[in-house]
Structures are given as structure tokens and as C-alpha cells.
Structure 1
Amino acid sequence: MEEARMHIAMYPWLAFGHISPFVLLANKLAQRGHRISIFIPTRTQSKLQHMNLHPHLITFIPITVPHVEGLVPRSAETTSDVDPSRSPFLMAAMDHTQKQVEDLLIQLKPNIVFFDFTHWLPDLARPLGIKSVQYWISGLVMTAYAISRAIPSDGFPDKSIRLHKHEEKMFEMMKKIDSGSGVSFLARHTLGARSADAIAYRSCREIDGPFADYVEKMSGRRILLTGPVIPPEAQTSTLEPKWDHWLAGFKHDSVIYCAFGSECVLEVSQFKELLLGLELSGMPFFAAVKPPKGCDSVEAGFPEGFEERVRGRGIVHGGWVQQQLILKHPSVGCFITHCGASSMLEALLSHCQLVFLPSIPDQTFIARMYGQSLRAGVEVKKGEEDGLFTKESVCEAVKSVMDEESEIAKEVRENHAKLKNILLRDNLEFNYIDNFCHQLQDLLK
């Protein structure tokens, strides 16, 4: 007998790196006839409409982000609108949408609501007879690590995954620093997990199985996996002509592509080290990075004489680019990524050699897993105490994967290919989404 169609509401953290994966999952669920209502800030909706492949089943529901003291600018709706230091104020503003969300849930009457950082949502949904699912677009390894620190045991799946001293300090700060409304980042995670009817991750057992098993065992909660939730092929079939023309001027697999997502902003000193490292490699490069802190443009952060020295073989672009198409370009052979969840998936699905340069804890765990444990790329070395990288460490990581004769390059190429084959295996994603839908149906019985 065909299962009943579900109506699922979603309220992701107000960052494009979170909203976009929720929309991707919504598309997969809508393919099976389920109806999705996604709460997205009013002015932000137009930037995401192109991702909605099933507008007859997926509706973007407008949310007004209220102003709270400290949130600058007043019109801010997502993390792309604010300096990273102001993110806690945006989180506090999101917490102030509780009454809006409650009214919408009463009006829409969904069966289930998905959330990530709004730890208060399960207690709001329960009296309305709505089930709640805490959905994380990454972080299964970090969750396992956090549990291993809170409940010491010998069962942590991979002892090769460890944090450096500066990373340990950052991880400890997650427990204490206010992420908005006086609630720490870690508390938002744990409080939401305890209250939710289910916990789900964008992950698959073929890669993260041991960590999923560990989290289930130690937490006593069943972990649902959606599979990789692979983005559709880029709808724009051709790369912007000026970039395509420039890349076409170089040999096959010779160009380094470097990108850190829409929200990673480097200190000026680290920005300079990155660019000098790319220059030092002697290879052509295309860096799509945001201007460094305190600078209005990428050019303002250039090392002295840099632009003249790399003219003709290096581009630094501060705006948006068609990353999927750039990664598919035959001239691009290396991808330096910050290991954000979406970028990491695009990296694994590419033909490029991978270099990891994470900046925040969840990215660090991803880099450690794919760099040290699965050996599918090389992480840029940083100072154990200060966490800073140098131009030499950037250059060293790039050269280690781009030297076709080196053992490291051969090893990471082979392991990367294995992971790509797993992710693209026939029916893998289809079966995961099907099973995930069955598990959601079970919640409603």
C-alpha cells in the first residue's frame, strides 16, 4: 500500500550554507510527492528560488527577522549580511521568531518540522501534535568526538582523528561562548537533540557508519541518515565566458582552484600568506575568496607587488562564481577547500586533487576525517599553538598532491576515486532517501 504523503516544515539556521542543503533535501522529498514548507527570511527568498525544482510542492514561507540590539545592519537576514562577530546577535534575532513560527505551524499544520539550531522548536511543536527532527548537514564526526569527551570510553571509532592545541581551545570555547540568547553553540546542539523526536544527518553509512553507530550507542538515540543529498547538475550549462576563456589557456589539470565559501573571512595576515603560497607554488591559480577583515576589496589585501608578479597566471576574485562548473573544467586539477559541508561534497564529486584548509571546528573534523583517516586529500599544516598557516605550508600541501609521481599524490587520488564511486553508486542516494521517508513515516505512527 502506498504510504501517505507528508507535509514537512523546515526552519534552518539563517546561513546560505545551511538553508541551501535544506532546500536540496526538500527537492528529494518532493520528488516522492511530499509537501514542504521552508521558513526563509523575506528578502532572502528570491536568492534561492532557482533551487526550488518542485514549486508546486515546495513553498518558501516568509519569516521576518526582528531587530535585536547589537545586530548590524538592522536589515540583516542571514550570516552573509553581518560580520562573523555579529552572528550571535543574528541567532538571538532568530530566537525572537518563536511566536511567528508557532503561528505558522498552527496555520500550516505540518506532520513534521525540521530544525538545526532552534533548540526551542521541539517544545513548541509537541503541544501542536507535530513531530520534530533535528537535521544536521554535517558534523557526525564532531558529535561523536563531543560525546567521547563528555562520556569517556574506549569506543571512539578513529583514534587518528585528534585536535591540535589551538583547536582544542576553540572546541572548549564552543561550550562557553554565547551563540545568542545566552545559549552556547554546544548547548543548542544538545538541548535540541534531547527534545527532538529524531536526529538526522546528511551522511551515509558507507563513509560515516562507525561514527553513526558510536553516536547511537553512546546517546541511546536512533540516528537517521539521508545519504549524501547530491546537488543536481548545474542548471547553467556553460561557465561564464571570461572564466572559461581564462582557464582554457592552461594545461589539463594544471590550475589550482581555491574557495572558502560565502562566509569565511580571513585575517589580513592569513589572506596574504594564502596568496603568497599560491604564488610560491609556481602554478596557475583561481582564488574565489572574500575580502579579508577590514578590507573593502580583495585587492586591498594583496601583498606588495603580488598583482604584477602573478599577472597572467593568477586570479583573485571577491565575488560569487559557478563553483560546480569551475570544478568540472578540464584545466582545473586542484581544489583548496575550507571543508564546508556543501563544498566538501562538491570536492568529492570532482576530479580534482584535494587540499584542506578549515577554519572552524566542524570543518576541522571534516578535514581530519578525509585527510588523515580516509587519506583522500592533504590538509595544510598549521601551528600547533596558534593555528596559523604560512605561505610555505600552503605551497607544500599543493605540491604534494599535484606532483603526479609522488606517493602522496597517488594515494589521495586513488582514495578520492573510491569515495567518489561510493557516492555515485547506482541507487545509493535513491535508496537512502526512500529509507529516510519510511523512517519519517514510522515517527508518525
Structure 2
Amino acid sequence: MPEPVTRKLHVAMFPWFAPGHMSPYLYLANELAKRGHKISYLLPRKAKSQLQSHNLYPDLVTFHVLPVPHVEGLPPGTETASEIPISLTSLLAIAFDNMRDQVEALLNDLRPDLVFYDTAFWITEFAPKIGFKTVCYNAVPAAPIALAFVPARNVPKDRDLTDEELIEPPKGYPSSSVVLRKNEAKSLAFISLEFGGKNVYERITAALKGCDAIAIRTCKELEGQFCDYIGSQFQKPVFLSGLVLPEQDKTPLESRFSEWLGKFEPNSVAFCAFGGQLILEEKQFQELVLGFELTGMPFLLALKPPLGANSIEEALPDGFEERVRGRGLVYGGWIQQPQILAHPSIGCFVNHCGSGTMWESLTSDCQTVLLPHLGDQILNSRLLCDHLKVSVEVERDENGWFSKESLSSAIKNVMDGDSEVGSMLKKNHLKWKEILSSPEYMSGYVENFIPHLYELLELGEAKV
């Protein structure tokens, strides 16, 4: 039996410049540093200021700030995806790719053992020269990767995929429930959009094909069949880090929210948040707030103003504020989402099912209603609703629009713990919450993840 490896790893990280990518990388960096490993985290200046307070091991996790070059068409000073509309993402990707030389020079100086990346496929091209191994670490769940980015899908370069081709799962795809439906093809059409000189499909598959190992922020118990499929498609080892959730933030909830929520009974308030980038059209924004009003329940909504509106207040339906005064609050600023979810009065969480929010909701005490908008969010939603049966997705019409009635009905369904649906969801949710919230369960994944990295470096034997 080989001797246990005692040499600590030096891991460099270079994720895509969006909060949903950078934060999970830092969570993993903290877990590796907790076990004595050194992390060199490459990021832009603005991202450093946003992430600094979440670096729990500054002696081992070092931020290396790189300037983001300007690209014509981007607002001056743009460094992260959260600063721009989705329509400008391809220009940010060009700026990202234009950093190749400075990334190569820094990695040549740092000489890490491993480099973790997600969209910077070109890192693999100079890895042999510098002498590090590459891990394509995906913060999104396995199901969207398995449906959209495996070689079996084979997105053509000379045309967009048809609706039928988009909703048809690739050969061998392991699920009949975590799929897109007829009116959802456009949500996956983004894979043929330009993303810095390549379309999204070409870029992500290049990142997956070029690495030494694929890693995914997920668990075998949740997505084992999708992970196995990805490994077979790319003929790569697939390492699972577990959910790698951040440590609980001890900062208390702002008094204006804690006092307001404190007026209501336990598990009686519906909370809604859609993350930092999603902006609704005005019609859907108004349908959303009217749907919460229709429930007759107290509610707290954290939303951005809809398209064309300068403020939340000017976009609200006529008479809405007067009708819901005392039981409904719509807020347009940044909000402490983890602390809100932990408040005893919150009973339901309506969200877009982005990757981070997906796991956050699954490990909270409240029931969830899902209103996804993009392809990966829709597939995440199917995973929770149809595969794990822990949530309800809001019904939409053939054009992808939801009504106030469909939203209200979904919220009432999950909030009614005595109904057959509400009872089933609560039972399943509790089961998964207990599993995923166990410190031993999560730490066990990280403990098993690290030996795989040693094996990749041929320094040790991975645990099976």
C-alpha cells in the first residue's frame, strides 16, 4: 500500500468573470486551504473587492489581480458579467480571451501543480510547456452539461439548431424527465450564440475536451447518472467536489427586514429573489407581483426594476401598494438572501433556479417554487421537480409566459402542508436537506476529491 502523500498542493484558479462562477471557485478554494493547500486565485480588481471578505484563509488563498483589457462596445471599466446586460457577454468574453498572454506569464511565474478553469479553454494549450495539470471545474450542475454540451449533440457551425434539434436529447442521454419541452427550445438556443469568437457550444466543449480531468460541483446521489454520461462522452475522469456550500454568514439580518418579518407567523411568508442579472419584462414583472397579491399571504420580493423602468415603484400595478400594505414588500436593492431564508417566518422561496440558488434552496427549511428563465435554469428546475420531487415549477403557456394565477397556484400548493403535493414535497425536501446539510457528508466529498488531484499528478492513489 502506497505511503500517504504529505506534500501540499498548489492550485491556481481562473474562472469566468461572473458571480455564479467566481464565488463557487472561492468556496472550493477555502475548503482546500482549510486542509493546508495553497491557492492562487486569478481575478479582476472589482471581483477581488467583492470576494475579499469571503476569503477565509488569506494566508493560503492569494488573490492575483489582472487588468481586463478594454474592448470596443463594452462600457469603460467593465470587468465582470454582473455589470453588463447579457447581450454584451460576448464582448466580455473577447476581453477575457485577450488576457491569455498575461495569464500565461503569471502561471509561468507561479508554477502551480494544477489549474482549475471553466471557459478559458486556451489554458490547456500552454499547460504542458509550464508543467501543470488542468481541471475543468464546472460550477453548474451535471444535468445541463450532459444535455447541452456533450459531443453527441454536435452543434453545426454553419447554422442554428432547429427547435426540434434543441429539445431532442443527445444519444444516450440518461433521463427522460430532465429535458426541455416543446415551447422551451429557445432557452437552449444560447449554445449557438457567439461567445468570444466561438459559439457557446464550441467554447464549453473545447474546455471539457482539452482538460486532464473534469470536475463538477455536485454529488453522486443527486446526479450520478449525468456525471457518468459526461465521463463516457468525453473519455475523461470526472471528480465530484460535492456542493461546497459557503460557511454560514454570521452577520445578522438588517433590522428593517427582521422587524418586518417578525410580525408574521412561522412558515407563513413567501420570499422571491431572482439573482443579480435577471431582469423581467414589465408585463411579466406586473404578473409576478399580482400573483403574490393573489395568494393572500404575506410576501417579500427582492427584484430588479423591469426593462424600461427606472425604479420598482414606477413599475408596480396601479393601486398595488395600497392593497398589500402591511403584508407585502417589494424591494429593489441588494438583500441578505441567506439570512432571509433562515428567518423562521419564511415558508416558501420562489426563485429562478440558478446553480447557486438551487443548492441554497435545497438546504434551507422553506419549500421552493421555481420560475426558471434560461436553459440551465430550466434543466436545474426539472432536476428538482421531476427527478428529486422537492419543488414545483410554475406552469407557462405555449409562449413561455406565466400568469398570476399559475404563480399563485404553485405557491399555495407548496405552502399547503396538508395537501398530497405539499406533504410529498415537504417529506422529500426534508430528506435531502438532512443529507446535504450534514457536515460529515459535505466534508467527505472534499476529502475524497483531493486524492483524485494527487492521482492526476501521479503523486498518490485516489480513494475509490
Give the TM bin, normalised by the shorter chain: over 0.9
Moved more, 99-108 or 244-253: 99-108
Query: 1:153: how far off?
Result: 7.1
Residues 238-317 of structure 1 aligned to structure 2 (within 5 Å): 238-317=252-331
150 and 399 in structure 1: CA distance in 2 versus 1, 3 angstrom threshold:
same
3-state SS of 2:318 partner: coil
Residue 406 of structure 2 is matched in structure 1 by: 393
144, 147, 153: which one aligns with 1:145: 147
Q: Which amino acid is 2:175 matched to? A: D
40, 44, 49: which one aligns with 2:47: 44
Residue 10 of structure 1 is matched in structure 2 by: 13
Residues 32-431 of structure 1 aligned to structure 2 (within 5 Å): 32-71=35-74, 73-146=75-148, 147=150, 150=153, 155-171=172-188, 173-180=189-196, 182-236=197-251, 238-384=252-398, 386-431=399-444
How far apart, CA to CA, are the structure 1 residues paired with 2:321 and 2:87?
Answer: 30
Query: 1:243: how far off?
Result: 0.2
Query: 1:155: how far off?
Result: 4.1
Query: 1:199: how far off?
Result: 0.6
Deviations 1:421-443 (A, max 9, x none): 22123522222111111111111
Residue 22 of structure 2 is matched in structure 1 by: 19
Deviations 1:277-322 (A, max 9, x none): 1111111111111121222222222112212211111111111111
3-state SS of 2:249 partner: coil
How far apart, CA to CA, are the structure 1 residues paired with 2:94 and 2:321?
Answer: 41
3-state SS of 2:64 partner: strand
What is the root-mean-square deviation of aligned Cα atoms in Å? 1.6
Q: Which amino acid is 2:126 matched to? A: L
Query: 1:175: how far off?
Result: 3.3
How far apart, CA to CA, are the structure 1 residues paired with 2:230 and 2:181?
Answer: 23
Query: 1:15: how far off?
Result: 0.9
8 Å CA contact 1:6–1:34 kept in 2: the answer is: yes
162 and 43 in structure 1: CA distance in 2 versus 1, 3 angstrom threshold:
closer
Query: 1:149: how far off?
Result: 5.6
8 Å CA contact 1:206–1:422 kept in 2: the answer is: no
Residue 31 of structure 1 is matched in structure 2 by: 34
43 and 174 in structure 1: CA distance in 2 versus 1, 3 angstrom threshold:
closer
Deviations 1:20-40 (A, max 9, x none): 111000000001111111111
Query: 1:270: how far off?
Result: 1.1
Residue 461 of structure 2 is matched in structure 1 by: none
Deviations 1:134-169 (A, max 9, x none): 111113101222339628777433212221223223
3-state SS of 1:336 partner: strand
Deviations 1:164-201 (A, max 9, x none): 22322331x23321122x21111111001111111100
Deviations 1:37-92 (A, max 9, x none): 11111133112111000000001110111110111x21111112112211111111
Runs of 4+ in 1 over 6 A off after TM superposition: 151-154
Residue 436 of structure 1 is matched in structure 2 by: 449
TM-score with structure 1 setting the length: 0.96
TM-score with structure 2 setting the length: 0.92
3-state SS of 1:272 partner: helix
Q: Which amino acid is 1:204 matched to? A: C
8 Å CA contact 1:268–1:292 kept in 2: the answer is: yes
Unpaired stretches in structure 2, ≥5 consecutive residues: 155-168, 459-464
3-state SS of 1:38 partner: strand
